[in-house]
Structure 1
């Protein structure tokens, strides 16, 4: 398992915002969102807005599944969030980790960009998927960021939450197109931003229309508290 960052303190966004949890962040991603707030997990060429070429030898650390589970359980939390990068690129490695954590009564959420069909073993284990399909402003071609089979399979799961990163009112029209096309009913709009000023500015621009459309909204609590500071 290729892991990039240590656990954090709470879930910063989405349906479980504010809940105390532990994080495991996996390295590698099949997308290259230009505004990504964790480019150190995948950007080895400097293609994101940071322009920094991160070194995978420094950022990623291989650890046995048992070691990861032991570290996470030591935090004594009821929720573990598996993030990335794109965690579903490592599904086979995730299954034994999820099984071990659930055996100890831990709830599991997996953050995913919605381009991978989830393994049935993860679904049967009761994992909740926080799905963040990427819009055109992320910069990747539509055929890479919108994968119909994956989105339909995730949308069929009643526990899935779909979280769309938005900047402008026009982005909400794009969200509606994706939601209508794939039967997505649990829609959450999250403002893009890596500073509190950016997050709050986009939120204020979007929130009234989000409410009018009957959708949910979430801020980025970790950004409001820590900005771009990385965990240690």
Structure 2
């Protein structure tokens, strides 16, 4: 009987030890799965973020390649710096993704009065030190090149009430002077317009398109 008791006690001890070991293994396995999942998820998030950035960069590069050649052609014909044209197209149309650009090919926020070739859309204006939302009537174009040419002719010919409105833009020797002139000549109400245009030109090296224009 004592031997049987010792045998039973030993077997129970081994069962408890095995159960404890199994619990430890399970916990370790759970921890391992958690660690792998955590770092795997972080890597997935990082990969997804990097992929999104790469896609955005590709879209931006494609947009510049799309509008730059015609901007250069217009620059040679009308002496408007291509870097200014491209930067304004980027800023005004949000890289061609705004409703005005994607649906109506208006890359510059150019307004009109004729109901037959315009569309009323909401826009933001900076007035009396604050941004307000208003309804504006904007030109509708059949092609983005038509929009670009209309923008260039606006700078060259001015507005219906002031044919010399953008004279300083045309006389500017470089993109910095032209960006400042856009602000002072009243192209946009955004107080940060000049800074935004200059940053875009510098970030995407748009100055290279100005070579040989002036």
Report the TM-score when normalising by structure 2. Answer: 0.24
Structure whose residues are more often strand by fraction: 1
Structure index of larger Rg: 2
The TM-score normalised by the length of structure 1 is 0.23
